[in-house]
Amino acid sequence: MNLKINQEEMDIMGFTVLGKLLSNDDVEFFYHDLISRKRLHRAQHGEENLKKYGENQILRDLVCVHPKYAKVIESAWFNEFVDTVLNEKAIVHGSHGIITDFQEDNGIPSKFHRDSPWLGEVRACVLILMPLVDFTEDTGATEYVPGTHLFKEKPSDEFLERNKKKVLVPAGTVVALDGTTWHRAGKNRTQTQRPLLQINVQLPFLKQQINPWSDERYKGCSDLVKKRMGYNVRCYDHPDQMLTEDRNWKSGNYAT
């Protein structure tokens, strides 16, 4: 990791590669854990119901389900990068697994989108992506459009298609996007699932997706994890509340 270069690339392109920062053991654990948890999640809620709310590819609120997820939040590289491109008070907006099936193109991750509101020169959100398989032309590598974080309005679909770049990196490589860079999940053309671990980090005046402090499991977290998880931030109490008709926001990125 070269923090000076990382920051310059984030400022100019809205994207940077931090390097191969997950061990092979971590990649293997996260891969199998996300696949297993998503299978149970689909069995519990039903695939059609999850598709209805755009949640079929996403597994949310991971930090409390196993200590290995919290260890990422505690890692030196994570905190050094976040402190550099946001600040030391930034908090985790959401910790997700994104599991893309063969040729799946339903849901928000597969369409060009932003994960944060555009606030001019203020960077409010950073996405930290950790592919758990090699990102290739066939596995559905994340696609992004450099420089689009610098402009308020969405570019034309033709512009996005003509200027997209694919994140072609080995499993365990950590990459980051400005939250306002237009991006999407690529199409998975293999016969296996494509899992990705993603942590969205934001300035603390933005609401989180899930309120971690309604969950007893968070009470045993280290002080550093509690700080990064945004103690006392108010939001939804449980991921299942996002599967109801009265869901009143999608990204959680609204000022408190």
Asked, for residue 255, whether it belongs to a domain, the answer is no
Per-residue pLDDT reduced to its tens digit, 43-52: 999 989 998 8
**What pLDDT does residue 236 have?**
62
Its pTM surpasses 0.75: yes
Residue identified by tokens 């590819």 is: 57
Number of domain units in the chain: 1
DSSP H/E element including 128 = strand 125-131
16 or 104: which leads in pLDDT: 16
- CA–CA separation, 196 and 131 (whole Å): 5
**What pLDDT does residue 62 have?**
92
Q: What is the mean pLDDT of residues 114-143?
A: 93
Asked, for residue 213, whether it belongs to a domain, the answer is yes
Residue 143 β-bridge partners? 166, 184
C-alpha atoms less than 13 angstroms from C-alpha of 135 in its C-beta half-sphere: 25
Enclosing domain of residue 120: 3-243
Percentage of residues of the chain with pLDDT beyond 70: 88
Q: In the 8-state DSSP scheme, what is residue 249? A: -
pLDDT at 195 over 90: yes
Per-residue pLDDT reduced to its tens digit, 131-154: 999 999 999 899 999 999 999 999
Asked, for residue 256, whether it belongs to a domain, the answer is no
Over the chain, what is the mean pLDDT? Answer: 87
Burial of 244 (0-12, 13-18, 19+ CB in 10 A): exposed
* Other residues' Cβ atoms within 10 Å of the Cβ of residue 224: 14
Asked, for residue 254, whether it belongs to a domain, the answer is no
Q: Using 50, 70 and 90 to split pLDDT, how confident is the model at 57? A: confident
Q: What is the mean pLDDT of residues 4-19?
A: 97
Asked, for residue 197, whether it belongs to a domain, the answer is yes
Burial of 182 (0-12, 13-18, 19+ CB in 10 A): buried
- CA–CA separation, 249 and 189 (whole Å): 32
204 or 167: which leads in pLDDT: 167
| Sequential DSSP letters for 157-187 | HHHHHHH-EE----TTEEEEEETTS-EEPPP
Distance from first CA to last CA of the chain, Å, rounded?
A: 34
Asked, for residue 253, whether it belongs to a domain, the answer is no
Q: Assign residue 16 the CATH number of its domain.
A: 2.60.120.620
Per-residue pLDDT reduced to its tens digit, 198-245: 999 999 887 777 777 777 788 788 888 888 887 645 556 677 767 776
Asked, for residue 190, whether it belongs to a domain, the answer is yes
Asked, for residue 176, whether it belongs to a domain, the answer is yes
Three-point CA angle 226, 59, 219, nearest 5°: 25
Distance from CA of residue 214 to its chain's centroid? 22
Residue 210 β-bridge partners? 236
* Other residues' Cβ atoms within 10 Å of the Cβ of residue 246: 5
**What pLDDT does residue 105 have?**
55
Phi-psi region at 120: left, alpha or beta (left = phi > 0; alpha = psi -120 to 50): left
Question: Is 129 strand, coil or helix?
Answer: strand
Contacting residues for 252 by C-beta, under 8 A, at least 6 apart = 93, 94, 206, 207, 208, 209, 235, 236
Q: What is the mean pLDDT of residues 20-41?
A: 96
pLDDT at 34 over 50: yes
